[in-house]
């Protein structure tokens, strides 16, 4: 039996020569960062691909998220989900705001929009939901609450690059959507990220915030930071944009194979695909029911590891249980998030994953469940 390592993810990369060709002009111009030619080109391409009037690039997605909070001048409390990567909650807290944790929907693991209203107080300034695993939030309900209570909405769209719902780009939902272009994401610029937004009035402020608050040459108008994307990152982004549809098609085929092998098995829950949604197949989460299988998530992770297969307990724990967050926040009353977090594994998924590897992963899981 083959014991080749299967990691949970593998970054998508263009052919080496293609990247070399792309960065040639950076050598000629000596323009390495500060909104150069590559930066501008990638922004133009993303405006088109994400079908949104405004895109601003950043050195990474987390910085983009913090700047979205600054740009909208949020205060007080932000209603959010604890079932996410640490970044979402950290951005809120690092900006001096209080995260108010809302439970998640047990089918798609996004924020349970029906539980948001009871968490709104006089201090609430915004909702920060996450399109977790690329599952798109109940945006209609969120939109309705935001307009009823005059709240801002920032979507953490780190997992949702290029997705569509009801014929709309996911980038068009809420006031601002953040996308991450980290190496492990569907689309990468090595590190990187962007904010997508409809309101062009936000443009200058966001631009200033990402370069020390400079609005002209001689004045700092807001307390900015430095989170510019450099030309080498943008060049990687441009190359990966040429292949993005191919990356997503390959991931889609992998997910199809996983479903063939794991769908309909008692004790194993997969996310259902919704109609009117175009997915990017960023993650493949599987929830294991110990009562039915006699094996829990950790047993299965161990069985996979013994075969040199590395799945991830993603997202475990819920962010409200991290030491630094727990010490500063009141405990989250989010039983669904807790349960999913304790029973979920995201299985390896990347464009170059072979069906053979998927079969090896599924065989191992099924063998462990039967043992
Ligand atoms: C990756 C990720 C981020 C942070 O993005 P970086 O580009 O790594 O800074 C934020 N939120 C979620 C849900 C993520 O998965």
Q: Per the domain annotation, does 129 fall within a domain?
A: yes
Place of tokens 């780009």: 169
Domain boundary among 213, 239, 265: 239
pLDDT tens per residue across span 48-103: 999 999 999 999 999 999 999 999 999 999 999 999 999 999 999 999 999 999 99
Q: Per the domain annotation, does 190 fall within a domain?
A: yes
**Could you tell me if 197 and 257 lie in one domain?**
no
Among 161, 175, 165, 118, which residue's Cα sits nearest to residue 137?
A: 165
Q: Which domain holds residue 225?
A: 16-239
268 neighbors 294 (Cβ within 8 angstroms): no
Q: Tell whether ligand 1 has an atom less than 6 A from the beta carbon of residue 130.
A: yes
Mutational test site, ligand 1, from 59, 64, 128, 180, max ligand atoms within 8 Å of CB: 180
Q: How many Cα atoms sit within 13 Å of 304 on the Cβ side?
A: 27
Q: Per the domain annotation, does 228 fall within a domain?
A: yes
CA atoms of 111 and 158, how far apart (whole Å): 15
Q: Per the domain annotation, does 3 fall within a domain?
A: no
**Could you tell me if 247 and 234 lie in one domain?**
no
**Could you tell me if 182 and 35 lie in one domain?**
yes
Mutational test site, ligand 1, from 8, 158, 236, max ligand atoms within 8 Å of CB: 158
The ligand 1 atom at the shortest distance from the C-alpha of residue 65 is: 10
- Quote the ligand 1 centre to 115 CA distance (angstroms): 24
C-alpha distance from residue 242 to each of 12, 46, 124, 134, 238 (Å): 12, 12, 41, 21, 7
- Quote the ligand 1 centre to 158 CA distance (angstroms): 5
Neighbours of 358 (CB within 10 A): 24
Q: How does DSSP classify residue 284?
A: E
- Quote the ligand 1 centre to 216 CA distance (angstroms): 30
**Could you tell me if 90 and 129 lie in one domain?**
yes
CA atoms of 22 and 7, how far apart (whole Å): 29
**Could you tell me if 264 and 217 lie in one domain?**
no
Mutational test site, ligand 1, from 57, 91, 182, max ligand atoms within 8 Å of CB: 182
Sheet containing 168-169, strands listed edge to edge, beginning at the edge strand earlier in sequence: 168-169, 164-165, 277-278
The per-residue pLDDT for 16 is 98
C-alpha distance from residue 160 to each of 8, 92, 156, 157, 325 (Å): 18, 20, 9, 5, 25
**272: its two tokens:** 């259902």
> Helices 37-49 and 16-29: crossing angle, nearest 10°?
130
- Quote the ligand 1 centre to 80 CA distance (angstroms): 15
**Could you tell me if 208 and 256 lie in one domain?**
no
The ligand 1 atom at the shortest distance from the C-alpha of residue 88 is: 11
DSSP-assigned letters across all residues of 143-212: HHHHHHHT-EEEEE-TT-TT-EETTEEGGGSSSEEEEE--TTSSS-SSS-EEEEES-GGGHHHHHHHTBT
> How many helices, marked H, and strands, marked E, lie in the chain?
12, 13
The per-residue pLDDT for 216 is 85
The per-residue pLDDT for 350 is 98
- Global pTM reads 0.97
Q: Per the domain annotation, does 332 fall within a domain?
A: yes
The backbone torsions φ and ψ at residue 182, rounded to the nearest 5 degrees and listed phi first, read -60, 155
Q: Tell whether ligand 1 has an atom less than 6 A from the beta carbon of residue 124.
A: no
The number of folded domains in the chain is: 2
**Could you tell me if 235 and 265 lie in one domain?**
no
**Could you tell me if 123 and 228 lie in one domain?**
yes
Looking up residue 208, the CATH number of its domain turns out to be 3.40.640.10
- Quote the ligand 1 centre to 248 CA distance (angstroms): 19
Q: Tell whether ligand 1 has an atom less than 6 A from the beta carbon of residue 195.
A: no
CA atoms of 153 and 146, how far apart (whole Å): 7
Domain boundary among 223, 239, 255: 239
**218: its two tokens:** 């001689």
Mutational test site, ligand 1, from 57, 129, 156, max ligand atoms within 8 Å of CB: 156
State which residues of the chain have pLDDT below 50: none
- Quote the ligand 1 centre to 262 CA distance (angstroms): 28
**Could you tell me if 163 and 226 lie in one domain?**
yes
The per-residue pLDDT for 2 is 54
Looking up residue 363, the CATH number of its domain turns out to be 3.90.1150.10
Q: Per the domain annotation, does 124 fall within a domain?
A: yes
Domain boundary among 181, 213, 239: 239
What is the rounded end-to-end Cα distance, in angstroms, of the chain?
A: 18
C-alpha distance from residue 106 to each of 266, 277, 340 (Å): 17, 19, 8
- Quote the ligand 1 centre to 61 CA distance (angstroms): 5
**Could you tell me if 306 and 209 lie in one domain?**
no
């Amino acid at each position: 039996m083959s014991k080749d390592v299967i990691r949970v993810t593998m970054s998508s990369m263009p052919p080496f020569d293609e990247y070399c060709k792309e960065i040639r002009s950076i050598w000629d111009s000596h323009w390495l960062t500060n909104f150069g030619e590559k930066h501008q080109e990638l922004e133009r391409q993303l405006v088109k691909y994400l079908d949104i009037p405004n895109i601003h690039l950043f050195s990474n997605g987390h910085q983009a998220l913090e700047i979205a909070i600054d740009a909208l001048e949020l205060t007080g409390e932000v209603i959010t989900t604890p079932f996410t990567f640490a970044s979402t909650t950290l951005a809120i807290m690092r900006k001096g705001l209080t995260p108010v944790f809302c439970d998640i929907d047990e089918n798609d693991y996004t924020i349970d929009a029906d539980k948001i209203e009871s968490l709104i107080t006089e201090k609430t300034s915004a909702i920060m939901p996450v399109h977790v695993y690329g599952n798109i939030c109940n945006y209609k309900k969120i939109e309705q609450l935001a307009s009823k209570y005059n709240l801002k909405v920032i979507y953490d769209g780190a997992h949702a690059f290029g997705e569509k719902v009801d014929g709309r780009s996911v980038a068009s939902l809420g006031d601002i959507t953040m996308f991450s272009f980290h190496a492990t994401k569907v689309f990468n610029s090595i590190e990187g990220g962007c904010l997508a937004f409809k309101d062009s009035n936000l443009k200058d402020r966001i631009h200033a915030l990402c370069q020390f608050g400079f609005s002209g040459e001689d004045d700092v108008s807001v307390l900015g930071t430095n989170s510019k994307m450099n030309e080498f990152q943008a060049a990687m982004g441009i190359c990966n944009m040429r292949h993005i549809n191919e990356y997503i098609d390959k991931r889609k085929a992998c997910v199809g194979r996983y479903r063939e092998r794991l769908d309909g098995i008692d004790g194993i829950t997969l996310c259902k695909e919704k109609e009117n949604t175009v997915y990017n197949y960023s993650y493949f989460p599987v929830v294991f029911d110990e009562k039915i299988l006699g094996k829990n998530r950790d047993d299965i992770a161990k069985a996979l590891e013994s075969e040199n297969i590395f799945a991830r307990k993603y997202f475990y724990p819920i962010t409200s249980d991290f030491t630094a967050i727990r010490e500063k926040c009141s405990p989250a009353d989010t039983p669904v998030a807790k349960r999913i977090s304790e029973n979920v594994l995201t299985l390896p998924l990347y464009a170059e994953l072979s069906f053979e590897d998927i079969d090896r992963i599924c065989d191992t899981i099924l063998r462990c469940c039967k043992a």
